[in-house]
Amino acid sequence: MVAAVAVALLIRYAIVDPPGPSSSWPAWSAWPVAAVLSLPIALRRRRPRVMLALACAAAVAATVAGAGAAGAIWTSFTPTVLVLYLVASTTSIAWSTAGLAACLSAAVTAVLIFYAQVLPGLAPAATPSEVPPAWPIEVGVIGVFLTVAWAVGAVVRWKRETTARLVRHLADSAVTDERRRIARELHDVIGHSMSLIAVKATVANHVADARPQEVRAALAVIEQTSRSTLAEIHRVLDLLRSDGDPQQAHAPVPGMADLPELAAHARSAGIEVDLTVREEAALPPAVAMSVYRIVQQALTNVVTHVGPTRCSVTVDADGREAAIDVVDDGPRHSRPPRPNHGGHGLVGMRERVKMYGGAFSAGPRPEGGFHVSARLPYDPDGSAT
């Protein structure tokens, strides 16, 4: 509305005191003419394309009828310029280009008609202007204004679309990262537990008739592992449901204090685990959970791919870096070697280490067995260094 009033005052002033001969219309008509020409500016946001057509048609009609300002006809097309900018910034490039072409054609035609038919019939100006009216100047000024308005509007529209695509890309990336995080968490939880359950179920099946006491012990481990797995899955799902809800309490996440329980689970599957934890300073929760998951997945691989063997787990946190080494002696019976690059387990461990900019390696040892090594550098606040 403010822009419409300002443009109306500009048009009225140009009509009353034009550079060239005054209009043959009465002086009081300058106000309604200026109001009609400026009305599309006030309504441009509701119907941009309709207002562009109305603004251009009103300017052409006022020019051809002689109601405009001789030597300053461009002022009558100022509303068209402003509405064209909005059209170019909100509609397709094809539509706005067609609007620009139509407005340019109409403006050139109106100016030529004015200078050929209307201007010769007007009384000469009382005070000659330093810049006498000339149709090339009028056409050039209107053409430059319309073209610049269209170009600026098109650039604004392009920037908006680019920003929107970038926002969508970032949102899609965030969703993908979240899916990978969820998959990694569920893989670690379910993979470890199901491997242990499978081992104990196999043992129970083989000794069911000869040693029923071992069957009960195996079933007890399966029951305990199943319950803990369900609790872990519920914890992950609760974290998903509580995203963005600061008032919902989060269940405690696993950390360094839970490593002995991991070792105990592995021992129940026939793995002789030697666990050594050296923690000079308490690890931040995020780093502690990553250490726990890496150890969990490494032990899961030992249970799944090696079977009964000896395994040493060493975790050393010195306040700047968490070092993890999991070494097994290899299978006690002839079994095919495990791959050192395949599987989701190694990929998940590598991704966790990558988040902290650390180093990860996994592969067979020359003397036999398998070695998993991870280094997680971190700041005291838990962020990657």
In a domain, 189, yes or no: no
Kindly state whether residue 29 falls inside one of the protein's structural domains. yes
**Same domain as 16, residue 162:** yes
Which pLDDT score, from 0 to 100, does residue 124 have?
67
Residue finishing a domain among 142, 168, 194:
168
Residue 192 located in a structural domain: no
The reply to whether 217 falls in a domain is: no
Domain that holds residue 368: 257-385
Q: Which residues contact 60 (CB under 8 A, 6 or more apart)?
A: 106, 107, 109, 110
* CB atoms inside a 10 Å sphere around CB 298: 28
Higher pLDDT, 23 or 162: 162
Model confidence band, residue 234 (pLDDT cutoffs 50, 70, 90): low
Instruction: Answer for the pair 287, 376: CB distance below 8 angstroms, yes or no.
Output: yes
Q: Is residue 91 part of a domain?
A: yes
Last residue of a domain, one of 146, 168, 190: 168
Tokens 């059209």 belong to: 87
Spatial CA neighbour of 54 closest among 67, 70, 72, 36:
36
Q: Mean pLDDT: which of 18-32, 150-164, 220-234, 295-309 is highest?
A: 150-164
Could you tell me the pTM of the whole model? Answer: 0.53
Domain for residue 245, yes or no? no
Q: Looking at residues 40-52, what average pLDDT do you find?
A: 89
Q: Work out how many domains the chain is built from and give that number.
A: 2
Residue 83 resides in a domain: yes
Evaluate whether residue 240 is within a structural domain: no
Overall average pLDDT of the 319-341 stretch: 74
CATH number of the domain bearing residue 345: 3.30.565.10
